[in-house]
């Protein structure tokens, strides 16, 4: 499998991470709202059918958590995927979950 490339797009109040894989149609997305300078609310994750089973959603979760940690932010995981990811990795992510 090719590497998963993830970019971050931001507006004043919202943002999203977009994942692509060379040679694979579609994209994955993890969207969030900026509740405050120190808190984001992840409310949506979607992955194209063509990318399912390739670890794209997990890569998006990892990048979102890593960026929040580096920025000193907390995450409110409203998205069912991220909420499940957090539940499975509670010890690793407890410092960034609000």
The pLDDT tens digits for 27-86 are: 999 999 999 999 999 999 999 999 999 999 999 999 999 999 999 999 999 999 999 999
pTM, 2 dp: 0.94
Structural domains of the chain, with CATH: 4-92 (3.40.630.30)
Q: Which of 12, 38, 33 is nearest to 77 (CA)?
A: 33
Instruction: Give, in order, the Cα–Cα distances in Å from 73 to each of 28, 39, 56.
Output: 23, 5, 23
Per the structure block, which two tokens stand in for 85? 């990811």
């Amino acid at each position: 499998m090719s590497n998963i490339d993830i970019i971050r797009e931001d507006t004043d109040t919202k943002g999203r991470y977009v994942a692509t894989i060379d040679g694979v149609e579609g994209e994955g997305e993890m969207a969030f709202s900026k509740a405050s300078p120190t808190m984001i609310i992840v409310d949506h994750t979607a992955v194209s059918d063509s990318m399912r089973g390739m670890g794209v959603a997990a890569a998006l979760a990892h990048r979102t958590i890593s960026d929040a940690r580096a920025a000193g932010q907390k995450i409110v995981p409203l998205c069912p995927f991220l909420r499940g990811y957090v539940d499975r990795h509670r010890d690793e992510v407890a410092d960034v979950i609000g």
